[in-house]
């Protein structure tokens, strides 16, 4: 019971807004309690209850249902006084666990696309020894971090298929995508779903790509894309237009090149539009059972070029050797692990713990016999932090090694000549491989370390058929224009244009150029220089053995002249160092060159990164 003591004059109750009286819930003379609903006002299609501010009696009602009222217009009068009505029971709170009908519909629409609701589709994936799209995304992102965009979207085929069929058979229109984290760092994770219309590019999943690519640009976060699928989809009926060539996805995705890291992962068939997305990525990771091609079997047959099984198109042994694939892996689990490792190089980890091999072992990495080949990969593994090296395009341009690595936790890009292929001479494929890698590192501010052991550019009529002049020149124009810190270390041979190209054009182009004691320098290979420069003198010696001895003596004199210590004494390089001291040199440069925290770049550093 409530009471106020003596009676007072009636109090007007006014409308808080303009609207219409939808209902009057009391009558004149009725006792009311403070907070009790008196009138319901409808305004802009919304119902707003008007409550009593006091205990009392309804003295007068100034409106009826259907009346129009203005803001602040009196609608009733209440005389405050003690009342005898019972206080209504407190309004019951809803059970938080209760699922309302509208929420149940939403939950059902989300669940229908999950693997648990699609056992037949999952079984087909298991039959091919592959994971589902959702399993791959879940493996990539940190647990609980993924927020999916457009999960209730269906294929735009309402004109030819029943809506329930589309909901059941085309969840997410065959594209799973959203925002998540990898090792705590945000990423856009995306995957075509091969269980939905063979992972083809549908009208709605193109629109989802547009949305996510724009999000990647706005947030400046990497994109990881699982690309398995058959390309464009001809069966959509609900999208406007004729050719579909005005779709924006390829334009938007290509614009991200050089702005954020783009990682493509493929397992199985990847043809046409799906392959175009994959090819735009900075790094392509592919499983052993991948087949990648710009046209699938249907397009090839339609072009009158014959009938081929999908397994005959772009198999891995082809796409590894020709440079399409950067990282070859056994399966999807390895692919995801490689993607995580790759993304780690774009995060500052200089404060993390690290280990490295005994650097004294590097003193014996280069054979004393200057003609003996060696494994430059072993040198790289020994020089950089333990288990930090990730090689790219290993089976393409084998005379050149390109890898991401760390030194004392700092990410670096490594370019090295491989003396086990063409003695380290630079051919067209090797030049393309290194120049493109320079662009990748420069675009994302990763310093470069070049390990030089080359007799120069490859020569001969056959190699000139590969447009060597143009390809090798890419190293000069790219190396001279990168702005990331660069350190060059001469392991052994440093001859001619090839050596200069490895250093950005000159021994003075890097922030530091040093050599190991095995370093040797010259405008061309020593043996060739002797044969050309002293041809007449050698030809004048009739005895073959005597001529060969004279030749070797001349080579030795030239070696003494061109060995690293003598070159350093003329200050053509910065120093000759103990190989065990190499990491100290690199760290000293990188600590100074990367000191401080520069403000975020407002846009791209480079227009794009070459796909090749």
Using a pLDDT cut of 70, give the percent of the chain over it.
Answer: 97
Residue 190 predicted with pLDDT over 70: yes
Q: Are 570 and 558 contained in the same domain?
A: no
The model's pLDDT over 278-293, given as tens digits with 9 standing for 90+, comes to 999 999 999 999 999 9
Taking 3-state DSSP, the helix, strand and coil percentages for the chain, each rounded to the nearest 5, stand at: 35, 20, 45
The model's pLDDT over 9-48, given as tens digits with 9 standing for 90+, comes to 899 999 999 999 999 999 999 999 999 999 999 999 999 9
Q: Are 558 and 431 contained in the same domain?
A: no
Q: Are 317 and 201 contained in the same domain?
A: yes
Residue 594 pLDDT: 79
Q: Are 296 and 181 contained in the same domain?
A: yes
- Decide if 336 contacts 141 (C-beta within 8 A): no
Residue 119 pLDDT: 96
Residue 406 covered by a domain = yes
The model's pLDDT over 104-113, given as tens digits with 9 standing for 90+, comes to 999 999 999 9
CA distance 251 to 235: 23
Task: Decide: residue 129, CB within 10 A, 0-12 exposed, 13-18 middle, 19+ buried.
Answer: exposed
Residue 86 covered by a domain = no
Which of 63-77, 307-321, 484-498, 514-528 has the least mean pLDDT?
514-528
Q: Are 325 and 462 contained in the same domain?
A: no
Q: Are 502 and 535 contained in the same domain?
A: no
DSSP for 508-560?
A: TSSSEEEE-TT-EEESS-HHHHHHHHTHHHHHT--SHHHHHHHHHHHHHHHHH
Q: Are 556 and 567 contained in the same domain?
A: no
Residue 476 predicted with pLDDT over 80: yes
Q: Are 322 and 416 contained in the same domain?
A: no
DSSP for 220-251?
A: T--EEEE--B-SB-TT--SS-SSS-TT--HHH
Using a pLDDT cut of 90, give the percent of the chain over it.
Answer: 81
pLDDT bucket at 7, cuts 50 / 70 / 90:
low
- DSSP state at residue 364: G
Indicate which CATH number applies to the domain containing 340.
3.90.226.10
pLDDT bucket at 8, cuts 50 / 70 / 90:
confident
Residue 89 pLDDT: 62
Q: How many C-alpha atoms does 548 have within 13 Å on its Cβ side? A: 2
Tokens coding 92: 């019951």
User: Residue 306: which domain range?
Assistant: 104-344
Average pLDDT over residues 354-368: 97
Indicate which CATH number applies to the domain containing 38.
2.40.50.100
CA distance 581 to 589: 13
Place of tokens 């005895």: 543
Q: Are 551 and 487 contained in the same domain?
A: no
pLDDT bucket at 324, cuts 50 / 70 / 90:
very high
Residue 401 covered by a domain = yes
Residue 602 covered by a domain = no
Residue 92 pLDDT: 64
Residue 186 predicted with pLDDT over 60: yes
Residue 351 covered by a domain = no
Q: Are 126 and 258 contained in the same domain?
A: yes
The model's pLDDT over 525-566, given as tens digits with 9 standing for 90+, comes to 777 777 777 788 888 888 888 888 888 877 777 777 889 999
Residue 185 pLDDT: 96
Which pTM was predicted? 0.88
Q: Are 514 and 547 contained in the same domain?
A: no
Residue 249 covered by a domain = yes
Q: Are 306 and 433 contained in the same domain?
A: no
Q: Domain count of the chain? A: 4
| Last residue within a domain, chosen from 344, 373, 388 | 344
Residue 43 covered by a domain = yes
Residue 373 covered by a domain = yes
């Amino acid at each position: 019971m409530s009471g106020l003591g003596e009676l007072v004059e009636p109090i007007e109750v006014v409308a808080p807004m303009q609207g219409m009286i939808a209902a009057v819930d009391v009558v004149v003379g009725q006792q009311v309690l403070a907070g009790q609903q008196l009138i319901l006002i409808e305004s802009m299609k919304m119902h707003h209850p008007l409550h009593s501010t006091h205990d009392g009696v309804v003295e007068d009602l100034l409106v009826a249902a259907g009346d129009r009222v203005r803001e602040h217009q009196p609608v009733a009068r209440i005389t405050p006084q003690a009342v005898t009505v019972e206080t209504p029971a407190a309004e019951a709170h809803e059970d938080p666990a209760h699922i309302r009908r509208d929420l149940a519909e939403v939950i059902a629409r989300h669940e229908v696309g999950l693997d648990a609701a699609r056992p037949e589709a999952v079984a087909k994936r298991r039959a091919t020894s592959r994971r589902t799209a959702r399993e791959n995304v879940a493996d990539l992102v940190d647990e609980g971090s993924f927020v999916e965009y457009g999960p209730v979207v269906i294929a735009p085929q309402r004109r030819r298929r029943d809506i329930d069929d589309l909901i059941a058979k085309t969840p997410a229109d065959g594209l799973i995508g959203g925002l998540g984290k990898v090792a705590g760092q945000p990423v856009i994770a995306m995957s075509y779903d091969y269980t939905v219309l063979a992972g083809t590019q549908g009208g709605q999943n193109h629109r989802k790509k547009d949305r996510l690519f724009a999000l990647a640009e706005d947030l400046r976060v990497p994109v990881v894309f699982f690309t398995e699928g058959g390309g464009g989809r001809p069966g959509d009926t609900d999208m406007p237009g004729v050719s579909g060539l005005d779709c924006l996805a390829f334009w938007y995705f290509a614009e991200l090149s050089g702005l954020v890291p783009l990682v493509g992962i493929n397992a199985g068939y990847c043809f046409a539009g799906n392959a175009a997305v994959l090819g735009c990525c900075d790094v392509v990771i592919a499983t052993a059972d991948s087949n990648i091609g710009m046209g699938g079997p249907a397009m090839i047959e339609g072009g009158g070029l014959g009938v081929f099984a999908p397994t005959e198109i772009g198999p891995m042994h082809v796409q590894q050797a020709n440079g399409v694939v950067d990282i070859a892996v056994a399966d999807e689990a390895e692919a995801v692990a490689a993607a995580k490792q790759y993304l780690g190089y774009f995060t500052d980890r200089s404060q993390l713990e690290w280990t490295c091999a005994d650097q004294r072992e590097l003193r014996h990495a280069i054979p004393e016999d200057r003609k003996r080949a060696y494994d430059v990969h072993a040198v790289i593994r020994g020089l950089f932090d333990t288990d930090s090296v990730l090689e790219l395009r290993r089976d393409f341009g084998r005379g050149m090694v390109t890898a991401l690595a760390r030194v004392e936790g700092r990410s670096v890009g490594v370019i090295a000549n491989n003396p086990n292929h063409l003695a380290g001479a630079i051919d067209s494929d090797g030049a393309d491989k290194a120049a493109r890698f320079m662009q990748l590192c420069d675009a994302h501010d990763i310093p470069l370390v070049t390990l030089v052991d080359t007799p120069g550019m490859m020569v001969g009529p056959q190699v000139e058929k590969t447009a060597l002049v143009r390809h090798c020149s890419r190293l000069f124009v790219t190396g001279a224009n990168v702005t990331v810190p660069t350190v060059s270390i001469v392991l052994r041979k440093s001859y001619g244009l090839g050596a200069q190209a490895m250093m950005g054009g000159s021994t003075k182009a890097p922030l530091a150029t040093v050599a190991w004691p095995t370093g040797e320098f010259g405008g061309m290979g020593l043996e060739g220089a002797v044969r050309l420069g002293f041809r007449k003198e050698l030809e004048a010696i009739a005895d073959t053995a005597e001529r060969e001895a004279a030749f070797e003596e001349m080579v030795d004199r030239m070696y003494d002249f061109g060995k690293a210590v003598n070159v350093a004494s003329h200050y053509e390089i910065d120093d000759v160092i103990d190989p065990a001291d190499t990491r100290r040199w690199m760290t000293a440069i990188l600590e100074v060159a990367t000191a401080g925290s520069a403000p975020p770049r407002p846009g791209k550093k480079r227009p794009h990164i070459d796909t090749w």
